[in-house]
Chain A
Amino acid sequence: MRRVSLPLWIASGFLYLFLYAPIVVVIVYSFNASRYGGPWRGFTTEWYPAILANADKLDAAKNTLILGVASTLIATVLGTMLGFGLSRFRFRGKKFFSFLMYIPVVIPDIVMAVAMLMFFRLVRDRFGLFQLGMTTMILSHVTFQIPFVAIVVRSRLVGMDAGIEEAAHDLGATSWQTFRHITLPMILPAVVAGGMLAFTLSLDDFVVSFFTTGPGSTTLPILIYSSVKRGITPDINALSTLIVLVSIVATLAGLLFQRPRDSRQHPGGKL
């Protein structure tokens, strides 16, 4: 039943192609010999060394990565806990808080950005904390990432067969042991999926980042959005190409170096 049929291969292949088509365009146009973007004017590789020598753009890339990784880690942990807590336990006001968790998903970017900007300002005026910069950006990103992770993890937990966990408790495992060795592996795909979504959200965020950043903490999206008024220049395409390349290489490397999984059934499937 788990064999993948030919039509499915074709449909999925098509979809992957569709997703990568713009990436191919980006890569191709990173070799465009036109300084200001615009139509194709000839082939050149000059933008690549230029990017690598451009400290500002490299700094932005570095900031984006730090921001993305840091916020994703925090948000994944907190979001997973939240998703787990909301789906398992009952407490007063649970419905209300569940509802509230949707607000970061519903709220328009700019309203969130302005709200956080004003909040940081208020706190700064009173307590001197929260100077605008990397810290405030991370705080802001985590805020909109948590619900995404929580929603995904929770969806995996809902309706999940509790038999294994019950068995563990019957055999004397503590809650923490049960969680760590039984539950967590079962929801791991959801945690990873949530984390990936969170990372994506952070990497692509402009509005919230712009309003909560400080001098020297510029991220790539801010750089790109600000430059777009001047046009998508080939060096931006070159930078994006490099990012895609690095991601693919990192993924392949990660897979190659992974220890081979045991052949025993992994929990969550059939017993």
Chain B
Amino acid sequence: MKRKLLAALVTLPFVLLVACAKKEAPPAAAAFEMAPVSAAGPCELNLFIWSEYIDPEIVAAFEKEFSCKVTIDLYEDNESMMAKLQGGGTALYDVVVPGQYLIPVMVKLNLLAELRHANLPNLANLDEKFVNPVYDPGNRYSVGYQWGTVGIYLRRKPGKAVDETWGLLFDKTKQYGSYLLMDSMREMMGSVAKYQGKSLNTTVPDDVRAQIAVLGDSKARSQGFEGGVGGKNKVLGKAVDAAVVYNGDAVRGMADDPETYYFVPREGGVLWLDNLVVPAKAPHRDSAEKFINYILDAKVGAQLSNFNQYATPNKAAKAFVTPEDLANPAIYPSAEMMEKLEFINDLGDGNRLYDEAWTQVKSK
């Protein structure tokens, strides 16, 4: 008797899971009707965002202008955020900031609500490059927030010109001294792919094997892997000579210490783009769209970029961005460099190839 009870107890969660999994989230159209429209009542907004990614003054100004109370929750990587949304966070948060590669996935998993363009007049401010993007045709679900690059940040050696190539890390003969690699699967492997002249979204196993070989060799000569900011801090602190970092961190580092220098190597690199989206069951959908529209305002967009020194996708905002930032190739790469930058895409079943490759590189 006890055994049957135990068996029932063990199978129960599975049964519930499968039964409920089918009802994961209603398709976008139904979410349209189901999301509560907060017509009257105090305005509230639950923002789920990376830390230090928005100027607190922008939030304060928004709260004042719309008499809205904004609660901010933080996350530290895209996938934790997704897991949270999948676990019920779609009904908790109003605005989230995922990377562009996750948007097609989130749409397929019914995690997002459509943006009602009627509420977003400032959408017209977006630069053409970010309107109707490949990963979200018609901007149905997302609006560009900030974008940037991944490159090499190093301490200049007095009197010597820097050879701007990934070979500084990947080529034994060109090694720049002690260095750190970035502890991020797609960004790091993608950089190797660009160095080898391939697309960073390749799913050809031999291409990936070649990446493993180069990266494995580079790892052996390196000081290890580090997250972006750690790398920049160690270059600043003279613990290493070079590191792979995100451009925003590098820009701050360069302001702190003019002997340091950031560049995207001539072979090209990763282009990243974060977006504002509204989860499928957002409790305050109207406030969410008000907020997104507010961010799209020219002056606010500029204030944002001036605060975190990443690049803005907002053409109208560029008029108000500090001129030094606009002229800084670390923030706004030249047109020629832009050609060589590539977005990371989610590879569906191809992700497994990179997962295995990365595990191999890291564990050998």
CB-CB under 8 A from B229, the residues of chain A are 37, 228-231
Interface residues in B217-243 (C-beta closer than 8 Å to A): 227-230, 232-233, 236-238
| CB-contacts of B42-66 with A (<8 A) | 46, 48, 50-52
Q: Specify which chain A residues have a CB less than 8 angstroms from the CB of B253 in the assembled complex.
A: 38
CB < 8 Å: which of A37, A118, A216, A225 contacts B76? A225
B348 to chain A, nearest CB (A): 22
Contacts of B93 in A (CB 8 A): 215
Question: How many residues belonging to B are interface residues under a CB distance threshold of 8 Å?
Answer: 39
A20 lies within 8 A of chain B by Cβ: no
B34 within 8 A of A: no
Decide if A114 touches B71 in the complex (CB within 8 Å): no
| Interface check B72, CB cutoff 8 A | yes
Contacts known (A37-B233, A229-B227, A230-B229); A215 close to B88, Cβ less than 8 A: no
CB < 8 Å: which of A118, A122, A124, A210 contacts B75? A210
Docked complex: B83-122 residues within 8 A CB-CB of A: 83-84, 87-89, 92-93
Asked whether B256 lies within 8 Å of A122 as measured between CB atoms, the reply is: no
Contact A230 B88 (CB under 8 A): no
How long is the Cα–Cα vector from A125 to B25 in the complex, in angstroms? 11
Give the most central of B23, B83, B88: most A CB within 10 Å.
Answer: B88
User: Is A84 an interface position by the 8 A CB rule?
Assistant: no
Q: A36-B252, A215-B46, A230-B52 are in contact. Are A117 and B72 (CB under 8 A)?
A: no
Task: Output the least CB separation between A236 and chain B (Å).
Answer: 10
In the complex, A17 Cα to B230 Cα: how many Å?
27
Q: Which residue of B lies closest to A231 (CB)?
A: B229
CB-contacts of A114-140 with B (<8 A) = 114, 117-122, 124-126, 132
A229 contacts B51, C-beta separation under 8 Å: yes
> What CA separation (Å) do A34 and B253 show in the bound complex?
11
B87 engages A117 (CB within 8 Å): yes
- B50 near A229 with CB under 8 A, answer yes
Distance, CA A233 to CA B74, complexed state (A): 16
Q: Is the CB of B75 within 8 A of A38?
A: no
Q: A210-B80, A215-B46, A218-B73 are in contact. Are A38 and B237 (CB under 8 A)?
A: yes
A34 vs B92: C-alpha distance in the bound complex, in angstroms? Answer: 35
Tell me whether A199 is interfacial, beta carbon within 8 Å. Answer: no
CB distance from A73 to the nearest CB of B (A): 26
Chain A residues in 8 Å Cβ range of B77: 229
A215 lies within 8 A of B233 (CB) = no
Q: Chain A contacts of B76 at CB under 8 A? A: 225-226, 228-229
Would you call A198 an interface residue if the criterion is a C-beta within 8 Å of the partner chain's C-beta atoms? no
19 contacts across the A-B interface (CB closer than 8 A): A38-B256, A39-B233, A39-B236, A114-B87, A117-B87, A118-B87, A124-B88, A132-B88, A214-B92, A215-B71, A223-B74, A226-B50, A226-B74, A226-B76, A227-B74, A228-B76, A229-B228, A230-B229, A231-B229
Query: 7 tightest A-B contacts by CB?
Result: A226-B74, A117-B87, A215-B46, A39-B237, A231-B229, A226-B76, A226-B51
Taking Cβ atoms with an 8 Å cutoff, the residues of B that contact A are 2, 13, 16-17, 20, 23, 46, 48, 50-52, 71-77, 80, 83-84, 87-89, 92-93, 227-230, 232-233, 236-238, 249, 252-253, 256
Binding site for B on A (CB under 8 A): 34, 36-39, 41, 56, 93, 114, 117-122, 124-126, 132, 210-211, 213-216, 218, 222-223, 225-231
| 20 extra interface residue pairs, beta carbon distance < 8 Å, beyond A114-B83, A120-B88, A132-B88 | A37-B233, A38-B236, A38-B237, A39-B233, A39-B237, A39-B238, A117-B87, A119-B13, A121-B20, A121-B87, A124-B88, A210-B80, A214-B92, A216-B71, A218-B73, A226-B74, A228-B227, A228-B229, A229-B76, A230-B229
